[in-house]
A and B are shown apart, each in its own frame.
Chain A
């Protein structure tokens, strides 16, 4: 099966609402993902990211709103939606007692492949994800990264056109995370549409074409990573004096530039500035103060800073408690 490269969006969601008792998990979320692109859904823990994915994967019914996935209405044709999607959850949803090959065989058979075809498809995907050697071992002996790759491989058995990745790298070491990113890039190159939820801003920055920031069940910002960074308007000016003893002098100089309070971390001082014109003033002042500068930089905000300014709190504050010892 080839991936239909329809020109329309792969996912359109309008006004999704979901309540659990008194808690409103989603409070009218709109999403649109163009075919063959990656949408990064960013938000802190409990923002509603997973609820949105579960609704779009037909696992939960929204209390209000509608969505069309791969051309099929969620409410009217959930079976058709399921035929088009792949889901990789936050917790690697593989049967730990089965081997990698058996897990793949299980999914293949459930999708209607013959035993031979299911084995072949499983072996092919396991090979692609570097799991060929581990195919005959029980999944519970796999490392966290291997389990995620097996989970992802299992969600690709049916060649989905739309893939949901719900915090696919939470709790993974940097190397495994990089491996997974490469796999996702490969899938997108093949025309798969990806909806990725993450708490890691660098992940969204590297993978996503567009980003939606969700907080308290609402979309609070959308745009490309560059647009979001531009939106906060502020750049960060950092100065590292050659001599750490000059740090207070540098801080004082930076404080004099703008209204924002400079922050000293390690051997450098940073301040957010709205206008790059302050640079010549700063250089003159530091020169007058007799400070030798080892490094001076003016850079655009990172997504972390964007997130902080949008939500009023750092993105990864909850990440540490949420890490899965997979």
Chain B
């Protein structure tokens, strides 16, 4: 089939369509302030609670604990936030919006790409908010602006890979609430069996074995290394490897599931 007989979407048009669909996801926030509240209040609450309730008990002082915990809480919050991609996609599928979009002469990738791009923007916003709260409470980043940007970039890159899991769940679930249930039953243990809140050494041996290879631990270590100090190369590389593996496994599964569902 030649290009003359089959019209295709030019890359520029595909980008425009992706941006338009991102705009749509972001404009939703304006009409649904609960989502913004969810995006903003939860991280703020977590930082405040963990710093002042657990800080003194786990570390020597809230201040010291904040240095350890803030990078980890960014990881947890961002990974949780990937579920929004699944919930939004599921809602589009069940309400017929996805069909409407696919019946338009637009790039086949635009609906998914637009949603994921918008969710990346939301995650960046939440990371910025967490860092702002952290700095207000006394978090210090010797890694400087560059370290913060690198850590944020790594986090968002990993979130892009994790988004494929969310897409798969979003397609397979029968309604948005089920996506949320998944979020709690899988994401909670996944993020808590890591070193984001406490040192690995404080846990029983069998748990340590998992905690040490948990991508959440590795990501938290990488972000600590980049922002606060400590080893960088190993956790960054291993985080990227995890991200690549997740994307390689789940992207094909998710794409296949989308094709089947629609």
Contacts and interface: CB of A to CB of B under 8 A. Distances in A.
A79 B101 CA distance: 13
A83 interface: yes
B96 A102 contact: no
A156 interface: no
A79 B100 contact: no
A82 B103 contact: yes
Contacts of B1: 76
A89 B96 contact: yes
Q: Which of A60, A76, A87 has the most CB of B within 10 A?
A: A87
Interface string A60-87: 1000000000000000110110110111
Interface of chain B: mostly helix, strand, loop or mixed: helix
Interface in B91-133: 95-97, 99-106, 110
A95 B105 contact: no
B99 A97 contact: no
B109 to A, nearest CB: 13
A203 to B, nearest CB: 20
Nearest to A54: B99
B100 A96 contact: no
A296 interface: no
A91 interface: yes
Contacts of B20: 106, 109-110
B229 to A, nearest CB: 43
B96 A92 contact: yes
A102 B20 CA distance: 11
A54 B99 CA distance: 9
A260 interface: no
A79 B8 contact: yes
Interface stretch (B25-33, B48-56, B206-214, B242-250): B25-33
Nearest to A107: B104
B21 interface: yes
Contact of B27 (A59, A60, A93, A98): A98
Most buried by A among B28, B31, B101: B31
B9 A95 contact: no
A109 B18 CA distance: 11
B104 A82 contact: yes
B20 to A, nearest CB: 4
B193 interface: no
A110 B27 contact: no
A210 B262 CA distance: 29
B136 interface: no
User: For the side of the interface on B, what is the size category?
Assistant: 20 to 34
Nearest to A91: B96
B31 A80 contact: no
Nearest to B94: A91
Given A106-B20, A110-B106, A77 B31 contact: no
A290 B35 CA distance: 76
B5 interface: yes
Given A83-B105, A87-B99, A97 B6 contact: no
B145 interface: no
A154 interface: yes
Given A76-B1, A98-B28, A110 B96 contact: no
Contacts of A58: 102-103
B31 to A, nearest CB: 5
A265 B81 CA distance: 61
Contacts of A98: 24, 27-28, 31
Given A80-B7, A89-B100, 5 more contacts: A89-B99, A93-B99, A95-B97, A110-B20, A110-B106
23 contacts: A54-B99, A59-B262, A60-B262, A76-B1, A77-B6, A77-B7, A80-B6, A82-B103, A82-B104, A83-B105, A87-B99, A90-B96, A91-B96, A92-B96, A94-B97, A95-B24, A98-B24, A106-B20, A106-B24, A109-B20, A109-B23, A110-B20, A138-B31
